[in-house]
Structure 1
């Protein structure tokens, strides 16, 4: 299943540039079990790189250089030395996904100009904004507390991938008020409410960076033993070092 998903994500049928890369950075004095390495290579096309975690800064440089290369320079600071324990860290698993797509309905460069943007802190800033008038799938709904917001779908050229944007209907409503309401279930419900409308879209150029601890989400999926030092068993990964606990996080740059 994972092989099929990976193949579908990077398929050239998407007409968008999508690349996925996986790597295992392992303490150079350690050796991984051959079946584990072979399985990861087969399913994830995952390579193994040897580093010395005794030198956190050097190890981070190697990992960050790999991430920068695989994401075409977009992610150049994935890991910081303070996340590595020189005595305890034995392995770092890294996944990098790079996407570059063209909008199906393109924004013309000449329509981009500085406009007023109100940030989360309530302050107004002049920032470059894209603009276009076109036909988009869109709709509106409210949170259980009665806060109304609009949503719109901006498809990419390949039609298989799109960006969904939500915006409070009232300018006085902060985005943070509707974020807790948005989930996979919420987004699925948007699809049934969307209708084609001619919409004037004004969108700021932006960069988004977020870091998420995966420990609780994984536990919610039933993956709990790996976080219990008394139950965790990673013997099939390596017999030369003892893995007791794996802490995972994901860092996303958009």
Structure 2
């Protein structure tokens, strides 16, 4: 019988959602008198670029699978967190198990070498953990391993520098203590945003992998709380709810995709993060979920234009808790969850498989922003006749890191008054 371990993929995200007017080259300007390590930064970014198309393909395939299993529900997850965790796991896999994991992550192994994948993730995680500007983001992994099974020195020597892994010896037989150790670690790393991750601890567990991402972003110009008012959000043809709707008049990046159809609004954080808010025409959400891919996002990016509008955006909190074993199996990552698993590169023994893989995510969207931005945000009364774009029915949000072109988070807001998704 295969011995099992559990994977817990975690995300905590806290958004201070506000928007500032940006000139076209605002985020690309650099004062030559200011010291920086842009040469090293550029080299890391170049290494990350090799992963961009594959990580994007995985992200949108995962969205499609989640949407099929949880139709009409809120969705929120971090594709880069899932990809990094399973790429790390692949370092301990062999044979068909390794191939399935890497190909399931959308890598074509005839076009990219395995070492390039791991080097790319190393640079990606380093850059994401050292963001520029007003974005706070940290990313890492931890392995909690029973003292009965010693990991191979080669495995630890390989994964520690590449995936920023911390390794802890844990007594899973003392379930209360083990649960506290893991929960305390996760709570600390996510700055208190994810608590009590583990409700019950199986004393037969021999290894638990936790992958975490913490994100907090401020906008250069926050929404003013006094402009937030209760308005209607149309969940579906039969359901309407009241939500606190934030409001701002300003110049935004827009695109109207007539083919789908949908409206795209792009907002920038003060640092390197960017948000695409995608509002499909009513009744077109399923079509958007099924057809969204990297080519469509690139088309939007290439055709954005600046326009003065009145923007309404719900104030909400959302969390996602997914048991993703079934989803990943549908995407081709099969053997690692069965008795056919070959994870002998981790501890030198064949009797090891992944029993369950969890992903937990949380997001808050509100008006908060930096104090300096608040002090310089005059009210633009002259624009009150500008066109209105109101996110008052289900919409998607894509959060990217511009430096690495990475898809950090994907969310679907079907009902802003529902704070959590059902576990799938």
TM-score normalised by length of structure 2: 0.51
What is the Cα-based RMSD across aligned positions, in Å? 2.8
Q: Do residues 237 (structure 1) and 346 (structure 2) align?
A: yes
Quote the offset at 1:233 in angstroms: 2.2
Greater per-residue helix proportion: 2
Distance in 1, matches of 2:244 and 2:197, equals: 27
Equivalent of 2:264 in 144, 151, 157:
151
Aligned to 1:118: 234
Q: Do residues 194 (structure 1) and 194 (structure 2) align?
A: no
Q: 1:12 to 1:181 in 2, by over 3 A?
A: closer
Q: 1:190 to 1:249 in 2, by over 3 A?
A: farther
Aligned to 2:134: 15
Worse overlay, 95-104 or 58-67: 58-67
Contact 1:215 1:249 in 2 (8 A): no
Q: Considering Cα pairs closer than 8 Å and 6+ residues apart, tell me whether 1 or 2 has the greater RCO.
A: 2
Equivalent of 2:255 in 124, 139, 153:
139
Aligned to 1:86: 203
Contact 2:125 2:140 in 1 (8 A): no
Q: 1:58 to 1:199 in 2, by over 3 A?
A: farther
The 3-state SS of whatever aligns with 2:262 is: strand
The 3-state SS of whatever aligns with 1:236 is: helix
The 3-state SS of whatever aligns with 2:155 is: helix
Worse overlay, 111-120 or 149-158: 111-120
TM-score normalised by length of structure 1: 0.81
The 3-state SS of whatever aligns with 1:208 is: strand
1:31-61 deviation line (CA, Å, top 9, x unaligned)? 2122222322212221112333345555333
Runs of 5+ in structure 2 lacking a partner? 1-119, 364-424
Distance in 2, matches of 1:176 and 1:79, equals: 33
Quote the offset at 1:101 in angstroms: 0.9
Aligned residues: 243
Aligned to 1:210: 320
Equivalent of 1:250 in 348, 359, 367:
359
Contact 1:120 1:174 in 2 (8 A): no
Q: 1:167 to 1:236 in 2, by over 3 A?
A: same
Contact 2:141 2:164 in 1 (8 A): yes
Worse overlay, 119-128 or 36-45: 119-128
Distance in 2, matches of 1:237 and 1:21, equals: 18
The 3-state SS of whatever aligns with 2:353 is: coil
Distance in 2, matches of 1:57 and 1:148, equals: 52
Q: 1:123 to 1:21 in 2, by over 3 A?
A: same
Runs of 5+ in structure 1 lacking a partner? none
1:165-197 deviation line (CA, Å, top 9, x unaligned)? 111334xx3745533332333322221232111
Q: 1:55 to 1:184 in 2, by over 3 A?
A: farther
Aligned to 2:243: 127
Pairing 1:64-79 to 2, within 5 Å after superposition: 64-79=183-198
Distance in 2, matches of 1:55 and 1:202, equals: 51
